[in-house]
Structure 1
Amino acid sequence: MSQPLQYRPLRRSTLDVSELVQDGRVHSAVFTDRDIYEQELDRIFHGSWLYIGHTSEVPKKGDFRTRQMGKQPVVMIRGTDGQVRVLLNRCRHRGAVVCEKEAGNTKHLRCWYHGWVYDSTGRLTQVPAVEAYGEDFTLEKMSLASPPMVEEYRGFIFASLSANVVPLRDHLGKAAEMMDLLIDASPVGEIRVSAGVHKTVYRGNWKLVGMDGYHVHYVHASVIAAWNRNSDTGIGATHRGDPFDDHSASRTRDLGHGHAMLDLTTHRMSHYEKFTEMLAGVTGGTEYVQAMHAKHGEKARLLISLAGDPHVGFFPNLQLINNQIRIMNPLGPDETEVLMFPVLFEGVSSELNEMRLRQHESFYGPAGSGSPDDGEIFERVQKGLHAQVEPWVEISRGMNREKTLDDGTVEGLITDEVPQRGQFREWLNLMTGDAK
């Protein structure tokens, strides 16, 4: 059996980060300073919940995917017992990685340095010339380490390198309901993450990837124009009218714990009839709509209209946007890797899933109309953030009109910086709290 990892932070920043986040503004140093970045790894990426992957990525025994938890390489693997585990990708002997490929199927994880071999549950099974070790040495004690906290929510696997975190369901809070909107858009309540991944690396800070409804008219102006010319561009992308206009019914929401969303629900539902008319022209589309209504009743209108796009970010490393699951991996204060996994629905026709893929590619692929523009603007922002004169960054838009609802969530208009303020509240909480 794998052994839980007892993580301890390696360093402390000498900077007083509590002074760098104020009402409606943050200091540029939170995006550029190396010491702050190292503290983020300790306090956030090594000290809170991170999304690792989806169980459908490892459907068979021995299937694995390699991922990152801050600086720590890990393996998500389905063992011979059928259980999905998260194991530290590090030999217990001299520290070499034991899984070098990004994905595959294996019966054993082997360290190529000295030949130690582990099975798919993380158990050490073979040590060359084991008699050279003392009597106290046992294979059982040297199994691969695992994060002390690993939990699943409806197929989504999360882990933490700190044992001192709240239960995952408490961490997700109201945002879990948004995750349900993706999963329940399948008529059988299951999704599949098997269509590969788009990867990009941009020269900018990881916190720039956020729920921002304000930039759409400017960074994606050509996309807005195309939407207005032709609304029926694929599943989940029916846009009559402008959902990113403050006169629309769209809203920004701070869901707590740094989780935030762009809520396009009312806009999407107002075009339900036109959207289902388009679906009827796709093989399996009518059957999909019928199956959803049979299972969910009136709620089916919401689930069909959103098409699995809650447009929500889970702090710090997961976003569910359009037709994808997105992971952000910080590589440095000014470098970030973004992994984008298209999501397919179980229980629908191949034609409907193909439509989802084509729509994903049209905006987020390497030749897409949107995602490359985001990477470009993030790099331009990062250059400007290094300026030493007037170093404060404004995130105050809409502070004077945001509303705190009865459930404790905060609501603003679609261009308001409610998500940014919510994310930085959680950032500050984790960065200034007691070390875990």
Structure 2
Amino acid sequence: MVLAAETPIVGTGKDYTHLVQDYRVHGSLYTDPAVFADEMKRIFTDGWVFVGHESEIPNGGDWVARRLGSERVLMARTPEGEISVVANRCAHRGTTLCPQSEGNNRNFRCPYHAWTYALDGTLLGAPFPQGFRNGKPDVCLDQPGQIGIYRGFVFANQSGTAGPLSEHLGPGGSDLLDRAADMSPTGRLQLNGGWIGQRVDSNWKMWPESDNDGYHIIFAHESLASSLLAGSQYEDVILEGEGRTKSVARDYGGGHVELDFRKSYTTELAWLGAPRGKVSAYCDDLEDAYGVEKAKSIMWDGPPHAFVFPNLFLGEMNIARIDPLAPGLTEHHHTPLLVETSDPGINRRVVLQSEAAMGPASFFLPEDVVIAERMHRAFDVGGATDPHGHTERGWVELGRGIDREQSGGGQRWGDVTDETTSRGFWHHYRCVMSGSATSGPAEGNGAAPPNGSSGNGQG
């Protein structure tokens, strides 16, 4: 994918078309405070950001505390059933309104001077009104300029200038969220299993890279390889070898990418590690809801392993939020993706899988944390650039598979071990940070994208 040079947009003056090249990126993008400041403006203020899921606040008065870029916010459900996102900061003197992570309240009341706000951010009252012009301050809680919801996933745009959420998601992002939501027979997910969060001493961009990197699995996750379950997607990646895997690294454009395991499954429900007899009621519910053919496809294909730009990881039956705090500090939160079904066994299995994949003693997350922190430390001691970002030191290679990628139908894809997904993230990052309108994957040989659905399990 080749992009024409752009004039850097107003900001720090960093030349992002030089710092992000087709096959490599510069290490200063992980550590430079000026780059981080640009990201907070161009990506996390001017763009759409994942905030949460509507199932987390099912009742009027429910709220959860979140981050929207550098700002702490509250996602709440009003008594009328609407979803609001407001700053977790009193409009008077800036005191944190809710220090807890979640709750249920009729309103938000500041502990400093007792200013009280409705759940949509409207000021309800302030004590001793005679001291104010017209008897009441003319303020409200800061709110994002746009809130958008797709299949229950709540996104917000601070500046209000990002355009429709549908344009941000595009066909690729929408399809990924559709596939996640369709794992539930009702089409509604339940993200109420509780979030587990940790702070990682690494840059936030190392997480979209790592979460969708099929090259490192056999090396960084050796414990997984030694206890591999036959028929799982990871058996295909680890045992088949380069060029023989059925799994695909896929770039949908817009920064949305996937390790597409669908073709690797050799049995129905392989992604769950259980035969139909163990979760028969769930399978029956799928067939009742979607019909036999679509239900069969869901049971074979399973959930996506994908990233929705800039901070949502669809980790199969897990969801993760990536919250950047500083150039070298990230909060990673994850929760199991639970479904609405008459079969309680499926959600019990999902919770156990979540513990095994992303818990404190799991196969994946602890090892990925160590790798990310080691990467960040390595870049934190050198690789400085001149004011235009030009240097010959400190580059990160992302060229694996670039000459054998295929493209068509608005997608690019390659061997599951190729760095197609990382390039997809970084190429869109370059577009956003340089002010380019081009964000889709470039067309190459004009081939149609392969049908990812396995359907009957045949490759």
For structure 1, which segment, 15-24 or 103-112, has the greater mean C-alpha deviation from structure 2 after superposition? 15-24
**Equivalence for 2:189:** 191
Change (3 A) 1:114 1:431: same
- Is the 1:18–1:432 contact (alpha carbons within 8 Å) kept by the matching residues of 2? yes
Change (3 A) 1:395 1:179: same
**Equivalence for 2:318:** 324
Cα distance in 2, alignment partners of residues 276 and 194 from structure 1: 20
**Equivalence for 2:39:** 40
- Following superposition, the deviation at residue 143 of structure 1 comes to 2.2
1:271 to 263, 267, 273: 267
1:391 to 369, 389, 394: 394
- Following superposition, the deviation at residue 38 of structure 1 comes to 1.0
Unaligned 5+ runs, structure 2 = 1-9, 384-391, 438-459
1:325 partner amino acid: I
User: How do residues 276-291 of structure 1 correspond to structure 2 at under 5 angstroms?
Assistant: 278-282=274-278, 285-291=279-285
2:91 partner amino acid: R
* Structure 1 position 151 matched with structure 2 position 125: no
Cα distance in 2, alignment partners of residues 344 and 373 from structure 1: 25
User: How do residues 349-388 of structure 1 correspond to structure 2 at under 5 angstroms?
Assistant: 349-386=343-380, 387-388=382-383
- Following superposition, the deviation at residue 434 of structure 1 comes to 8.0
1:167 partner amino acid: P
Structure 1 length as normaliser, TM-score? 0.90
**Equivalence for 1:213:** 214
1:293 to 283, 287, 296: 287
Cα distance in 2, alignment partners of residues 108 and 277 from structure 1: 45
**Equivalence for 1:83:** 82
Unaligned 5+ runs, structure 1 = 1-10
- Following superposition, the deviation at residue 42 of structure 1 comes to 1.0
How big is each residue's C-alpha offset from its partner over 1:39-62, in whole Å with a ceiling of 9 and x where there is no partner?
Answer: 111111111000000010001111
Cα distance in 2, alignment partners of residues 428 and 278 from structure 1: 42
- Partner secondary structure for residue 298 of structure 1: helix
**Equivalence for 2:297:** 302
Give the count of matched residue pairs.
Answer: 412
- Is the 1:80–1:121 contact (alpha carbons within 8 Å) kept by the matching residues of 2? no
Cα distance in 2, alignment partners of residues 404 and 328 from structure 1: 29
- Following superposition, the deviation at residue 322 of structure 1 comes to 2.2
1:347 partner amino acid: T
2:151 partner amino acid: R
For structure 1, which segment, 68-77 or 289-298, has the greater mean C-alpha deviation from structure 2 after superposition? 289-298
1:361 partner amino acid: E
Cα distance in 1, alignment partners of residues 314 and 270 from structure 2: 24
**Equivalence for 2:457:** none
- Is the 1:245–1:414 contact (alpha carbons within 8 Å) kept by the matching residues of 2? no
Cα distance in 2, alignment partners of residues 70 and 292 from structure 1: 37
Cα distance in 2, alignment partners of residues 398 and 274 from structure 1: 28
- Partner secondary structure for residue 92 of structure 1: coil
- Is the 1:255–1:409 contact (alpha carbons within 8 Å) kept by the matching residues of 2? yes
- Following superposition, the deviation at residue 166 of structure 1 comes to 2.2
- Following superposition, the deviation at residue 421 of structure 1 comes to 1.0
**Equivalence for 1:3:** none
- Is the 2:360–2:366 contact (alpha carbons within 8 Å) kept by the matching residues of 1? yes
**Equivalence for 2:251:** 254
- Partner secondary structure for residue 176 of structure 1: helix
- Following superposition, the deviation at residue 379 of structure 1 comes to 0.8
- Following superposition, the deviation at residue 79 of structure 1 comes to 0.7
Structure 2 length as normaliser, TM-score? 0.85
**Equivalence for 1:126:** 125
Cα distance in 2, alignment partners of residues 277 and 71 from structure 1: 39
